């Protein structure tokens, strides 16, 4: 099953070693799905399937984690389990996840049942290395295209930090509306240090801490948590604000800074 969603997920998850710590796996999975969300692919596919993005993420994670040990996401495990986990027909699933503009690749069919344990391990190691190279290339391109655009951001940029993505035209929600511009930065400084900087830089903004994530906003809405879980309409990204949270990336604690801002 070669389609847009599978390729995006595969690119990231082929880099996961089966012996990697669970928390590091989860961090990589979250990063991949965040990329899917920001690109708009997640809302497009989930709407087509008739499921919420929460259900989409839960179902795909369940499918991916079951299929990596079976065939490294290269066999038919994804297709079979996805249909079961999503609870939709094959025709509908194929219609929602296919990409007609994609160039079909000619790939060698591999029967994993005929491989020895050593051959399978070697093949998965190779696939993981190739997948890691792809995602690093994609991340580098996104980062490179964002570099030098920091001057467009109208909220304070934390220093030292590195820009990793910048959607200066905003992101499209499930209704086709474009949000405010959104930029993402990373730093090795602690969440507490970054939050302290924004508390000082934006004295008229309020700060809310919930489930390890800090929100910096001018007026914290009463239904902040509900709004933050609305991944279809993206209501928070129509409001200037900053999100600060920590993830372990390549065994390093990394602080992520996501900000939506009013363009000048």
What span, in angstroms and rounded, lies between the C-alpha atoms of 195 and 217?
12
Q: Are 36 and 28 in contact (CB under 8 A)?
A: no
Q: Are 262 and 180 in contact (CB under 8 A)?
A: yes
Clarify whether residues 88 and 126 are in a common domain.
yes
In a domain, residue 142? The reply is no
Residue 203's domain comprises 147-260
Residue 27: pLDDT over 60: no
> How many domains in the chain?
2
Alpha helices in the chain (DSSP H): 4-13, 22-39, 41-49, 53-71, 77-86, 90-97, 117-146, 191-201, 224-228
Q: Are 153 and 183 in contact (CB under 8 A)?
A: yes
Clarify whether residues 193 and 111 are in a common domain.
no
Which of 83, 100, 135 is the last residue in one of the domains?
135
In a domain, residue 141? The reply is no
pLDDT tens-place string over residues 35-55: 566 556 677 777 888 888 788
In a domain, residue 140? The reply is no
Higher-pLDDT residue of 79 and 203 is: 203
Clarify whether residues 15 and 126 are in a common domain.
yes
The mean of the pLDDT values for the chain is: 76
Clarify whether residues 70 and 40 are in a common domain.
yes
Residue 222: pLDDT over 80: yes
Which of 135, 168, 200 is the last residue in one of the domains?
135
Clarify whether residues 101 and 189 are in a common domain.
no
Clarify whether residues 93 and 187 are in a common domain.
no
Element (H, E) at 248: strand 241-249
Element (H, E) at 163: strand 162-167
pLDDT tens-place string over residues 72-88: 555 577 777 878 888 88
pLDDT tens-place string over residues 153-197: 999 999 999 998 888 888 877 787 889 999 999 999 999 999 999
Clarify whether residues 85 and 161 are in a common domain.
no
Clarify whether residues 123 and 164 are in a common domain.
no
Clarify whether residues 103 and 180 are in a common domain.
no
In a domain, residue 197? The reply is yes
Clarify whether residues 186 and 83 are in a common domain.
no
Clarify whether residues 124 and 174 are in a common domain.
no
DSSP state of 172: B
For residue 243, which of 58, 47, 11, 38 has the smallest C-alpha distance?
38
pLDDT of residue 20: 36
Which of 106, 135, 164 is the last residue in one of the domains?
135
What span, in angstroms and rounded, lies between the C-alpha atoms of 258 and 245?
9
What span, in angstroms and rounded, lies between the C-alpha atoms of 230 and 233?
6
Clarify whether residues 58 and 118 are in a common domain.
yes
pLDDT of residue 228: 84
């Amino acid at each position: 099953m070669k389609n847009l969603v599978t390729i995006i997920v595969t690119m990231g998850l082929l880099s996961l070693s089966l012996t990697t710590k669970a928390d590091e796996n989860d961090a990589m999975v979250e990063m991949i799905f965040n990329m899917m969300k920001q690109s708009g692919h997640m809302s497009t596919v989930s709407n087509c399937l008739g499921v919420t993005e929460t259900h989409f993420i839960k179902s795909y994670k369940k499918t991916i984690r079951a299929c990596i040990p079976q065939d490294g996401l290269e066999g038919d495990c994804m297709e079979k389990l996805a249909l079961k986990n999503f609870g939709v027909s094959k025709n509908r699933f194929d219609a929602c996840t296919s990409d007609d503009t994609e160039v079909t690749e000619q790939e060698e069919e591999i029967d994993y049942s005929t491989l020895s344990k050593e051959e399978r391990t070697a093949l998965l190691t190779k696939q993981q290395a190739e997948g890691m190279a792809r995602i690093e290339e994609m991340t580098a391109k996104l980062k490179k295209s964002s570099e030098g655009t920091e001057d467009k951001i109208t909220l304070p940029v934390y220093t030292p930090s590195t820009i990793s993505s910048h959607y200066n035209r905003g992101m499209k929600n499930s209704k086709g509306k474009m949000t405010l511009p959104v930029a993402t930065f990373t730093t090795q400084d602690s969440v507490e240090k970054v939050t302290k900087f924004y508390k000082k830089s934006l004295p008229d903004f309020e700060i809310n801490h919930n489930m390890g994530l800090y929100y910096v906003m001018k007026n914290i809405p009463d239904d902040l948590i509900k709004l933050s879980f609305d991944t279809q309409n993206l209501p928070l990204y129509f409001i200037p604000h900053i999100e600060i949270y920590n993830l372990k990336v390549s065994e390093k604690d990394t602080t992520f800074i996501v900000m939506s801002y009013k363009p000048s």
